[in-house]
């Protein structure tokens, strides 16, 4: 019996916490797309590699890493670009890409007499105008996409070489889990763990235990830390005339993967939002002093709470820094004008926190209905709804039932 007996424990996968300390360093992939791939494999009587070639999955992942928000590949897209991105040989990735086009995963579009390529379904899954963030029949609301670390391209060629379609899908499952786990803020990247039973891996990978261990230790271990829960050592029986050297077999009942810095990084967006909070406090303090209002420590705390609740929350669902800057400038400008207006009328500001919060709500109401930013507001509302199961208060405010 091995001495390292233990049981892996893992936390709930989903959380509604918005501000993530870390984020996956990679590209967007949709839950519905992964579900579709799994269903195709499940409904087929053929082997996974015969149903969807591993080279096709590699090309499909590479296309997701290269495409724009509408699923269009760059105008100058070439197979060489795809080969360089995925690390898969040119001829292999070319065959995989052709399979994707032939089987309607990727389509050709002619624009100005030039052929372009687009991932089918990408723009629909990524559509900010979607009114139903929950999949039919789901008991809980889940974010519609996850992020796949770019580090997978360092092991993708090996999986393709082995024609390991099931191995690639299982890898995407790991990526999906870790991407969502990051919603649960922890101290270090290595604190995020994914636990799977050996029986589950044998089933999903469609292989024997020693082959599962080979998949984990020789491929997956290059980007994730792998820990095996060995519950037993099987020693071979003594036999006379044995030609092969007896081998001690290890019995593993669980596997723990840990996230590494190859796949995740510090969330710079959160740091930028914190910087905006500090900058906003400083500017509002200046407005108030100019208006003759003494600013207390409690006022500063109230200003920060108001900004974090009304503006910071919205910013945390934005993907572009320019969009955050636009909202920030709108909010700061309106707060400043309202404070100046009150001072000009000779009125006293009683509640700084209440005044700032009301002013920020007015700023958001203007921002969400302006032609140039209305679409961004809808993007934010939809991402929030996909995670929480309901639209945010700022989006519903002023709308008729």
Listing DSSP states for 82-127 in one string gives HHHHH---HHHHHHHHHHHHHTTSEEEEEETTEEEEEETTHHHHT-
Q: Mean pLDDT over residues 72-83, rounded? A: 95
Please give the Cα distance from 271 to 268 (Å, whole number): 5
Q: Among 65-74, 136-145, 273-282, which stretch is predicted with the lowest mean pLDDT?
A: 136-145
Element (H, E) at 147: strand 145-149
Please give the Cα distance from 301 to 353 (Å, whole number): 8
If you average pLDDT over every residue of the chain, what do you get?
Answer: 85
Residue 176 has pLDDT above 90, yes or no: yes
pLDDT digits (tens, 9 = 90+) for 88-112: 999 999 999 999 999 999 999 988 8
**Does residue 16 belong to any structural domain of this protein?**
no
Question: Look-up: residue for tokens 């379904």?
Answer: 121
- Looking at residue 106, its pLDDT comes to 97
Answer yes or no: are the C-beta atoms of 168 and 156 closer than 8 Å: yes
**Top mean-pLDDT range of 12-26, 86-100, 186-200, 385-399:** 86-100
Boundary residue ending a domain (265, 298, 323):
265
- Looking at residue 64, its pLDDT comes to 97
Number of domains present in the structure of the chain:
2
Please give the Cα distance from 396 to 401 (Å, whole number): 9
Same domain as 43, residue 178:
yes
Q: Among 3-7, 178-182, 243-247, 330-334, which stretch is predicted with the lowest mean pLDDT?
A: 3-7
Answer yes or no: are the C-beta atoms of 73 and 116 closer than 8 Å: yes
Tokens representing 65? 């890493």
Same domain as 258, residue 187:
yes
- Looking at residue 116, its pLDDT comes to 93
Q: In the chain, pLDDT over 90 holds for what percent of residues?
A: 59
Same domain as 171, residue 30:
yes
Q: Could you tell me the pLDDT band of residue 5, with boundaries at 50, 70 and 90?
A: very low
Same domain as 202, residue 251:
yes
Q: Mean pLDDT over residues 113-117, rounded? A: 90
Q: Which of 166, 205, 215, 162 is nearest to 51 (CA)?
A: 166
Residue 134 has pLDDT above 90, yes or no: no
Q: Mean pLDDT over residues 301-313, rounded? A: 92
Tokens representing 126? 């990524």
Q: Mean pLDDT over residues 155-178, rounded? A: 96
To the nearest 10°, the Cα dihedral for 291, 296, 297, 301? -50
Same domain as 273, residue 251:
no
- Looking at residue 249, its pLDDT comes to 60
**Does residue 2 belong to any structural domain of this protein?**
no
Cα first-last separation, the chain: 65
The DSSP output letter for 308 is: I
Boundary residue ending a domain (230, 265, 300):
265
> Which of the pair, 137 or 328, is modelled with greater confidence?
328
- Looking at residue 6, its pLDDT comes to 38
For 184, phi then psi, to 5°, come to: -95, 100
Same domain as 178, residue 94:
yes
Strand partners, 107: 118
**Does residue 274 belong to any structural domain of this protein?**
yes
- Looking at residue 248, its pLDDT comes to 53
Question: 3-state DSSP call for residue 233?
Answer: strand
Answer yes or no: are the C-beta atoms of 15 and 179 closer than 8 Å: no
> Which of the pair, 230 or 157, is modelled with greater confidence?
157
Q: Among 62-76, 239-253, 327-341, 355-369, which stretch is predicted with the lowest mean pLDDT?
A: 239-253
Residue 140 has pLDDT above 70, yes or no: no
Q: Which of 95, 91, 100 is nearest to 63 (CA)?
A: 100
- Looking at residue 318, its pLDDT comes to 87
Same domain as 378, residue 254:
no
Boundary residue ending a domain (245, 265, 285):
265
Same domain as 260, residue 247:
yes
Answer yes or no: are the C-beta atoms of 348 and 339 closer than 8 Å: no
Same domain as 305, residue 221:
no
Q: Which of 360, 318, 368 is nearest to 339 (CA)?
A: 360
**Does residue 10 belong to any structural domain of this protein?**
no
Q: In the chain, pLDDT over 70 holds for what percent of residues?
A: 85
Same domain as 142, residue 289:
no
**Does residue 8 belong to any structural domain of this protein?**
no
**Does residue 49 belong to any structural domain of this protein?**
yes
The DSSP output letter for 190 is: G
> Which of the pair, 23 or 7, is modelled with greater confidence?
23
Q: Which of 228, 195, 183 is nearest to 2 (CA)?
A: 228
- Looking at residue 209, its pLDDT comes to 84
Task: Let me know the angle formed at the C-alpha of 24 by 182 and 226, rounded to the nearest 5 degrees.
Answer: 80
pLDDT digits (tens, 9 = 90+) for 200-258: 999 999 888 889 989 999 999 999 999 887 555 555 566 666 555 655 566 667 889 99
Same domain as 274, residue 227:
no
**Does residue 225 belong to any structural domain of this protein?**
yes
Burial (Cβ within 10 Å: 0-12, 13-18, ≥19) of residue 14: middle
Please give the Cα distance from 339 to 355 (Å, whole number): 8
Residue 209 to residues 102, 249, 360, Cα–Cα distance (Å): 36, 10, 58
Same domain as 148, residue 87:
yes
Q: Maximum Cα–Cα distance for the chain, whole Å?
A: 105
* Domain span at 369: 268-396
**Does residue 41 belong to any structural domain of this protein?**
yes
């Amino acid at each position: 019996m091995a001495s390292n007996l233990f049981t892996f424990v893992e936390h709930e996968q989903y959380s509604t916490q918005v501000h993530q300390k870390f984020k996956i360093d990679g590209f967007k992939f949709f839950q519905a797309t992964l579900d579709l791939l799994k269903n195709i494999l499940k409904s087929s009587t053929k082997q996974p590699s015969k149903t969807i070639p591993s080279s096709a999955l590699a090309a499909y992942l590479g296309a997701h890493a290269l495409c724009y928000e509408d699923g269009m590949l760059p105008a100058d897209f070439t197979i060489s670009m795809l080969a360089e991105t995925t690390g898969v040989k040119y001829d292999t990735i070319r065959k995989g890409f052709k399979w994707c086009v032939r089987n309607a995963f990727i389509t050709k579009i002619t624009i100005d007499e030039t052929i372009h390529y687009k991932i089918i379904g990408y723009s629909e899954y990524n559509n900010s105008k979607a009114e139903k963030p929950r999949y039919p029949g789901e008991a809980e609301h889940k974010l519609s996409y996850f992020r796949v670390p770019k580090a997978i391209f360092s092991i993708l060629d090996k999986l393709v070489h082995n024609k390991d379609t099931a191995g690639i899908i299982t890898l995407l499952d790991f990526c999906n889990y870790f991407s969502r786990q990051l919603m649960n803020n922890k101290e270090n990247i290595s604190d995020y763990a994914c636990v799977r039973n050996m029986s589950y891996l044998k089933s999903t990978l469609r292989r024997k235990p020693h082959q599962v261990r080979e998949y984990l230790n020789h491929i997956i271990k290059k980007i994730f830390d792998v820990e095996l829960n060995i519950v037993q050592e099987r020693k071979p029986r003594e036999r006379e005339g044995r030609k092969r050297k007896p081998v001690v077999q290890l019995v593993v009942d669980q596997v723990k993967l840990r996230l590494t810095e190859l796949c995740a990084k510090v969330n710079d967006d959160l740091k930028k939002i914190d910087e905006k909070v500090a900058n906003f406090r400083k500017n509002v303090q200046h407005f108030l002093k100019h208006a003759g209002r003494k600013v207390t420590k409690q006022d500063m705390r109230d200003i920060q709470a108001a900004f974090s609740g009304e503006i910071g929350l919205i910013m945390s669902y934005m993907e572009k820094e320019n969009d955050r800057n636009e909202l920030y400038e709108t909010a700061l400008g309106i707060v400043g004008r309202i404070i100046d207006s009150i001072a000009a009328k000779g009125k006293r500001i009683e509640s700084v926190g209440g005044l700032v919060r009301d002013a920020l709500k007015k700023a958001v109401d203007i921002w969400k209905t302006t032609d140039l930013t209305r679409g961004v507001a809808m993007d934010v509302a939809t991402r929030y709804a996909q995670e929480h199961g309901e639209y945010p208060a700022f989006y519903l405010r002023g709308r008729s039932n």
